[in-house]
């Protein structure tokens, strides 16, 4: 049993484990909204768009959580709103505008980083460094998790109405536009908290895969939110341990594990898995046969 407890003897592993649980749960919880609102592409774009914001934040205010956060938020909002502005004011569709803006923003970020006074490892930004989590990072993560989950739980009814049908929600008095901005802001927040752990690229995996997995297993919305959180937390923690035992990069192990869980659900889900579709083809015929017999 030594191998099981051994990782926890190190303080950096304890911190990493705690960070994984928090980030995994928060991102997993949020992933329900991203899957149902079909924001995956948007999330991808935002994750890249954060880079120039971070660079400018570091250049102007130094390397602090607040400077990173404000820079990232401004950059994400500029890209998100810019895409909407372009799609509304021209014939270019929103995905196209989003793709142009985020690649441009990402490139600008790379150029800007070379002027940054502090050396920022692009590799760490992309893939994170969970083992280097400091106490301050942990507190930031804790704060972001608390704000995100509280907001989502408090606003669950209007959010739910908006997710199901935005225009009908508006007739029921839901401020759809405002809620959308709240959701995007929370998305950016949790990306920032994932930055240290798995990096922005892999954060996307944590922000989509958990709920997508549960979506294949359950028809309950509550299960999607809380189950997404649990799958995210479990996947992150287990992935971290696997990476420790096998001496592999942590972020990649976490996302691979989440991908594996998704594949299992995709293939074996009792209700929506492909195996069931494959083996349950007799259904249609049986029903029509019964009808035919009834007529005779």
For the chain, the maximum distance between any two Cα atoms, rounded to a whole number of angstroms, is 85
Q: How far apart are CA 12 and CA 130, in angstroms?
A: 9
Q: How far apart are CA 203 and CA 246, in angstroms?
A: 22
How many CB atoms lie under 10 A from the CB of residue 191? 25
The tokens describing 27, both together, are 């991102």
Q: Which is nearer to another protein, 109 or 228 (CB)?
A: 228
Q: Which is nearer to another protein, 14 or 172 (CB)?
A: 172
For the CB of residue 87, give the shortest distance to another protein in the complex, in Å. 15
For the CB of residue 27, give the shortest distance to another protein in the complex, in Å. 19
Angle (nearest 5°) at CA 258 between 253 and 264: 125
Q: Which is nearer to another protein, 106 or 225 (CB)?
A: 225
For the CB of residue 91, give the shortest distance to another protein in the complex, in Å. 14
Q: How far apart are CA 221 and CA 60, in angstroms?
A: 43
Q: Which is nearer to another protein, 142 or 160 (CB)?
A: 160
Q: How far apart are CA 139 and CA 89, in angstroms?
A: 42
For the CB of residue 154, give the shortest distance to another protein in the complex, in Å. 6
Q: Which is nearer to another protein, 25 or 215 (CB)?
A: 215
For the CB of residue 160, give the shortest distance to another protein in the complex, in Å. 7
- How far are the Cα atoms of 14, 152, 221, 255, 273 from residue 31, in angstroms, in the given order? 25, 11, 12, 14, 20
Q: Which is nearer to another protein, 124 or 165 (CB)?
A: 165
For the CB of residue 281, give the shortest distance to another protein in the complex, in Å. 18
- Positions in the binding site for another protein (CB under 8 A): 36, 154-155, 157-158, 160-161, 163-165, 167-168, 170-173, 215, 218-221, 223-224
Give me the sign of the Cα torsion angle 253, 51, 58, 69.
negative
Q: How far apart are CA 28 and CA 160, in angstroms?
A: 17
């Amino acid at each position: 049993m030594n191998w099981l407890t051994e990782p926890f003897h190190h303080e950096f592993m304890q911190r990493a484990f705690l960070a994984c649980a928090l980030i995994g749960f928060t991102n997993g919880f949020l992933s329900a909204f991203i899957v149902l609102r079909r924001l995956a592409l948007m999330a991808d774009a935002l994750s890249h768009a954060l880079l120039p914001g971070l660079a400018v934040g570091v250049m102007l205010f130094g390397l602090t959580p607040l400077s990173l956060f404000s820079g990232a938020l401004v950059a994400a909002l500029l890209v998100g709103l810019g895409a909407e502005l372009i799609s509304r004011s021209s014939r270019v569709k929103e995905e196209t505008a989003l793709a142009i803006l985020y690649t441009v923003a990402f490139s600008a970020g790379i150029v800007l980083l070379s002027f940054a006074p502090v050396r920022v490892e692009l590799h760490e930004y992309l893939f994170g460094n969970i083992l280097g989590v400091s106490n301050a990072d942990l507190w930031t993560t804790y704060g972001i998790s608390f704000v995100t989950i509280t907001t989502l739980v408090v606003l669950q009814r209007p959010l739910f109405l908006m997710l199901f049908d935005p225009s009908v929600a508006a007739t029921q008095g839901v401020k759809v536009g405002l809620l959308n901005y709240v959701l995007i802001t929370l998305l950016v927040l949790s990306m920032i908290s994932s930055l240290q752990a798995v990096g922005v690229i892999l954060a996307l995996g944590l922000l989509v895969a958990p709920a997508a997995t549960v979506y294949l297993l359950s028809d309950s919305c509550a299960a999607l939110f809380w189950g997404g959180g649990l799958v995210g937390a479990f996947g992150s923690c287990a992935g971290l341990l696997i990476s420790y035992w096998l001496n592999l990069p942590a972020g990649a192990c976490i996302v691979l594990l989440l991908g594996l869980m998704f594949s299992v659900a995709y293939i074996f889900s009792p209700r929506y898995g492909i195996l069931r579709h494959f083996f349950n083809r007799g259904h249609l015929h049986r029903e029509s046969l019964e009808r035919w017999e009834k007529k005779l």
